[in-house]
């Protein structure tokens, strides 16, 4: 009876406390109105992929490096191609329209990119005029990161802000959801929220393959002559045996909250909001799940060097928890990964590893380099730059170059780094106003 009484008392106390919290809530959020721009499947499949002279970068959502070229994805619109032979003086080459494009990877001068739910391939023999080669239809799911689709099946090419606003307070029926519909207008806290609501890096290899590098937040990657892509809940494998006509071979359900993919020679490391999954690609077209290293609900990019994986975990509105840390994990036994070190961080996001150093993007807190011990553990901070609102990084050790993708209007900032990790800001690729 004493236990029951205590339980009832605790429950009543919790309900009272919850009630008090609700009564004293004073938060208000301004929701912006948005209207979708609609495009039909017939229109986007029938449109040509125009190549034009360079234009300003306005909304860079992804990046990739292949040989001397830097590719910047303009969210859902196309691809900027930049000659980065001299990182101190990058030269824009061309702008290619790819409506619906998000993820990309390059192998042997063939560029692969999604166009909404299709996979399209381009010949990069002349990067000034990429040539369309082939289309593999209906290989990506609607209502995922690769294709924004309304409930009636219409594809969204863009969201346009309206003059309408809604004030949402703690007592509003719309408090909680990031997006809501009022009459015929959708409302969201910001553009990324409305976009995400309906959207629901390897070094060059040997053996005849020349493969590019993606950042730690990439969703496309290539290894073992196979293109892999992850959406919100699936791992997809495409055979590149006929590299001009990729074949969709495998689709594996791997759970929700999938965010990133990183390859090694014979494994894939997949980051999600609940853990890091490891797959063997010894049989490239039939990835085998080896283990899942679980963690608290958070955003989770991962990179790997040798037998050590590095994972940043951060919280926030879209990521669950409110913590922020960098975790070092021993993956020498891929079926039994073991945590070696956890270090509290501030605003950590994308990351890279090269030459005994860890490169960390810290949003508004800038870009940092850390020493790694001989055992791969995080050592002392080597340098810290506040030049950029850092989101993700691609490290080019052959040039001692770090290419940092920023948030918002930050564009891309490149850095030289020394053997002891000191950073020098070099060129900056700005975005339009």
**Mean pLDDT, 10 residues at a time, the chain of 433 residues:** 36 37 56 78 89 90 95 92 97 95 95 96 96 96 69 69 80 69 73 53 51 96 96 96 97 93 95 92 97 73 95 64 82 97 91 97 95 97 96 96 90 96 96 77
Q: How many CA atoms lie within 13 A of 292 on its CB side?
A: 12
Q: Rounded to an integer, what distance in angstroms lies between the CA atom of residue 94 and that of residue 52?
A: 6
Q: 309 with 269: CB under 8 angstroms?
A: yes
Structure-token match 């960390």, residue found: 360
Q: What pLDDT, on a 0 to 100 scale, did the predictor assign at position 250?
A: 96
Q: What pLDDT, on a 0 to 100 scale, did the predictor assign at position 202?
A: 39
Query: pTM of the full predicted structure?
Result: 0.81
Hey, where are the domains in the chain? 29-215
Phi, psi of 81 (to 5 degrees): -115, 125
Q: What pLDDT, on a 0 to 100 scale, did the predictor assign at position 152?
A: 64
Q: What pLDDT, on a 0 to 100 scale, did the predictor assign at position 205?
A: 42
Q: What pLDDT, on a 0 to 100 scale, did the predictor assign at position 33?
A: 77
Nearest CA among 128, 50, 125, 68 for reference residue 94: 128
Q: 348 with 326: CB under 8 angstroms?
A: yes
Q: Rounded to an integer, what distance in angstroms lies between the CA atom of residue 49 and that of residue 330?
A: 44
Torsion-angle region of residue 408: left (phi > 0), alpha (psi -120 to 50) or beta?
left
CB atoms within 10 A of CB 242: 9
Three-state DSSP string of the chain: CHHHHHHHHHHHHHHHHHHHHHHHCCCEEEEEEEEEEEECHHHHHHCCCCEECCCCECCEEEEEEECCEEEEEECCCEEEEEECCCCCCCEEEEEEECCCCCCEEEECCEEEEEECCEEEEEECCCCCCCEEEEEECCCCCCCECCECECCCCCEEEEEEEEEEEEEEECCCCCCCCCEEEECCEEEECCHHHHHHHCCCCCCCCCCCCCECEECCCCCEEEECCEEEEECCCEEEEEECCCCCCCEEEEEEECCCCEEEEEECCCEEEEEECCEEEEEECCCCCCCEEEEEEECCCCECCEEEECCEEEEEEECCCCCCCCCEEEEEEECCCCCCCEEEEEEECCCCCCEEEECCEEEEECECCCEEEEEECCCCCEEEEEEEECCCCEEEEEEEHHHCEEEEEECHHHCEEEEEECCCCCEEEEEEECECC
Q: Rounded to an integer, what distance in angstroms lies between the CA atom of residue 114 and that of residue 101?
A: 5
What are the beta bridge partners of residue 181?
A: 186
- Round to the nearest angstrom and report the end-to-end CA distance of the chain: 68
Q: What pLDDT, on a 0 to 100 scale, did the predictor assign at position 264?
A: 93
CB atoms within 10 A of CB 211: 21
Q: What pLDDT, on a 0 to 100 scale, did the predictor assign at position 37?
A: 74
Q: Rounded to an integer, what distance in angstroms lies between the CA atom of residue 259 and that of residue 231?
A: 7
Phi, psi of 197 (to 5 degrees): -65, -30
Q: 81 with 55: CB under 8 angstroms?
A: no
Q: What pLDDT, on a 0 to 100 scale, did the predictor assign at position 95?
A: 97
Q: How many CA atoms lie within 13 A of 257 on its CB side?
A: 18
Structure-token match 């219409």, residue found: 154
Q: What pLDDT, on a 0 to 100 scale, did the predictor assign at position 8?
A: 34
């Amino acid at each position: 009876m004493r236990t029951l009484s205590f339980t009832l008392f605790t429950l009543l106390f919790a309900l009272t406390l919850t009630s008090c919290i609700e009564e004293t809530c004073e938060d208000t959020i301004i929701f912006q109105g948005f209207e979708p721009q609609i495009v039909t499947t017939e229109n986007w499949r029938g449109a040509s992929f125009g190549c034009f002279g360079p234009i300003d970068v306005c909304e860079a959502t992804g990046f990739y490096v292949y040989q001397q070229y830097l590719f910047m994805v303009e969210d859902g619109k196309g691809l900027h191609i930049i000659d980065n032979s001299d990182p101190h003086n990058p030269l824009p080459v061309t702008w290619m329209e790819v409506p619906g494009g998000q993820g990309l990877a390059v192998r042997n001068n063939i560029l692969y990119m999604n166009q909404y739910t299709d996979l399209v391939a381009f010949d990069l023999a002349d990067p000034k005029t990429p040539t369309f080669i082939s289309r593999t239809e209906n290989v990506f799911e609607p209502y995922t990161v690769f294709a924004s689709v309304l409930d009636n099946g219409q594809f969204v090419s863009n969201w346009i802000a309206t003059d309408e606003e809604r004030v949402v307070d703690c007592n509003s029926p719309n408090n909680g959801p990031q997006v809501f519909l009022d009459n015929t207008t959708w409302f969201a806290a910001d553009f990324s929220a409305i976009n995400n609501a309906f959207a629901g890096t390897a070094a060059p290899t040997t053996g005849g393959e020349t493969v590019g590098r993606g950042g730690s937040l990439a969703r496309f990657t290539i290894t073992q002559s196979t293109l892999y892509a992850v959406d919100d809940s699936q791992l997809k494998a495409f055979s590149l045996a006929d590299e001009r006509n990729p074949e969709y071979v495998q689709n594996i359900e791997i759970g929700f909250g999938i965010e990133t993919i990183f390859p090694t020679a014979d494994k894939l490391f997949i980051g999600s909001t609940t853990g890091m999954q490891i797959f063997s690609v010894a049989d490239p077209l039939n990835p085998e799940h080896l283990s899942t290293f679980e963690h608290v609900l958070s955003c989770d990019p991962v990179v790997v060097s040798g037998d050590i994986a590095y994972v940043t975990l951060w919280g926030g509105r879209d990521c669950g928890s409110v913590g922020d840390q960098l975790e070092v994990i021993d993956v020498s036994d891929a079926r039994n990964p073991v945590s070696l070190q956890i270090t509290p961080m501030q605003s950590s996001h994308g990351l890279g590893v090269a030459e005994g150093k860890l490169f960390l993007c810290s949003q508004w807190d800038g870009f940092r380099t850390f020493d790694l011990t001989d055992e791969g553990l995080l050592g002392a901070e080597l340098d810290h730059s506040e030049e950029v609102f850092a989101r993700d990084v691609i490290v080019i050790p052959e040039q001692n170059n770090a290419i940092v993708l920023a948030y918002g209007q930050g564009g891309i900032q490149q850095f030289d780094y020394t053997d002891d990790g000191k950073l020098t800001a070099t060129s900056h690729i700005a975005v339009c106003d």
